[in-house]
Structure 1
Amino acid sequence: MTDPREPYAGPPAPVLDGHGLRLRTWDPESAADVDAWLRAHLDPEFLRWNTPLRDITDTAGARESLRARAAATEEGTAVVLCVTDAAEGTVLGQVGLHAVDRVRGCAGVGYWVLPEARGRQVATRSLSLATNWFFTHLGLHRLELGHALGHEASCRVAERCGFRAEGTLRGAMWEAGRRDAWRDVHGHARLATDPAPAAIG
């Protein structure tokens, strides 16, 4: 297991413990992981705020999607972590990096939580834990976070984790369930040099 406080010298995906959670890599060969990934991508609330590049509607598609995330993590262009309950190992959601640019030291960050795990600050706790590791052990300077305008729950998560609001990006993401229409995004970002937010957990 990787200690978030120690220099990281292993593969690009760690195992992180904190705030009552364990963050680990997804396993495309695990029936439980595939089922959780599929349920998330079929959840109406998830689809209200996100339109994936490809629809995920069955087990085969979910497994293929997880394999692609694992490959991106191995290549260093992403870090995709499964959020689980530290005590029971139950899958609760996801947090991760995408569009990692090592040259400029920046990346995008995103998260989601399964329906049964909402209302427990899972997104806040997992984003806080992961963000500290992203900065400390990947040497990143800037993390960018965007959510659909009007997604107040996601906005609160960003603010609690020290991601400052930077404005509105016009037409920066697809409308729900469409790939031919766009909506505005509320942009947040956090720099490695920003003051740490209040303690979480």
Structure 2
Amino acid sequence: MTRALSTLPVIASGILGSSPQPTLSTIGGLLLRPWEEADVPAFLSAYRDDEIRRWHTRRPATESQVREWFDTYRQDWRQERGGHWAITRDGVEVLGRIALRGFDFDDGIASAAYWVLPAARGAGVASGALLALTMWAMDEVGFQRLELDHSIRNHASCKVAIKSGYILEGTKRSAAVHDDGRHDMHLHARIRGE
């Protein structure tokens, strides 16, 4: 059922799903590209890292599950629900993951999420990828507002958000379940033109 709007959508349907998912460059020379079959082992290995496991409770356990996730990622793009990219060096070496999810074209809103492999932490990989994705989403696609949230205990993610221009707007109390119980979550957002 389509809902009737009194205003036009901020972003027209069909502008993303009818085109291939883009590859995006970062200021630091990294490349964000769609996930590929060759990335399956690196992706699975990432979810064996203690820090990634600490903040992500939905985790693949087998290479077969990773392939299912990649299929879902491709469907998300075609159906304009979200986009999922590998953060890479030279388009080959996987350094992390970044996603834009929950596309709301009516209001022009989406949510960002990311993780970075241990060897790439502390080198500006996450913030560089987030800035590149943000600029593409706002300047080229037309999103008005991008949000991200993270556990209030995840200080590294908070630093990435702030460094990338995502203003801390508040705390969502008891908003997510982690392995050690419920966590309050910081909500950050960036508005086009800021």
Give the count of matched residue pairs: 178
Provide the residue aligned with 2:106 in structure 1: 103
Q: Offset of 1:79 from its aligned partner? A: 0.9
The TM-score, its normalising length taken from structure 2, stands at: 0.86
Q: 1:93–1:114: 8 Å Cα contact kept in structure 2?
A: yes
Provide the residue aligned with 2:22 in structure 1: 14
Aligned: 1:49 with 2:55? yes
Q: Offset of 1:11 from its aligned partner? A: 1.8
Aligned: 1:131 with 2:134? yes
Provide the residue aligned with 1:25 in structure 2: 34
Report 1:11-160 matches (<5 A): 11=19, 13-18=21-26, 19-27=28-36, 30=37, 32-52=38-58, 55-86=59-90, 89-160=92-163
CA-based RMSD of the aligned residues comes to: 1.7
Q: Where does the alignment leave 5 or more consecutive residues of structure 1 unmatched?
A: 1-7, 195-201
Q: Which amino acid aligns with 1:123?
A: A
- CA distance in 2: counterparts of 1:42 and 1:67, whole angstroms: 21
Q: Offset of 1:119 from its aligned partner? A: 2.0
The TM-score, its normalising length taken from structure 1, stands at: 0.83
Q: Where does the alignment leave 5 or more consecutive residues of structure 2 unmatched?
A: 1-14
Match of residue 176, structure 1, among 172, 176, 179: 179
Q: 1:76–1:100: 8 Å Cα contact kept in structure 2?
A: yes
- CA distance in 1: counterparts of 2:40 and 2:77, whole angstroms: 17
1:47-83 residue CA offsets vs partner (Å, 9 max, x unmatched): 111211xx41111111111111111112110011111
* Structure 1 runs, 4 residues or longer, greater than 4 Å off: none
- CA distance in 2: counterparts of 1:96 and 1:138, whole angstroms: 15
Q: Which amino acid aligns with 2:33?
A: R
1:86-136 residue CA offsets vs partner (Å, 9 max, x unmatched): 3x7211111110111000100110111112221211101111111100101
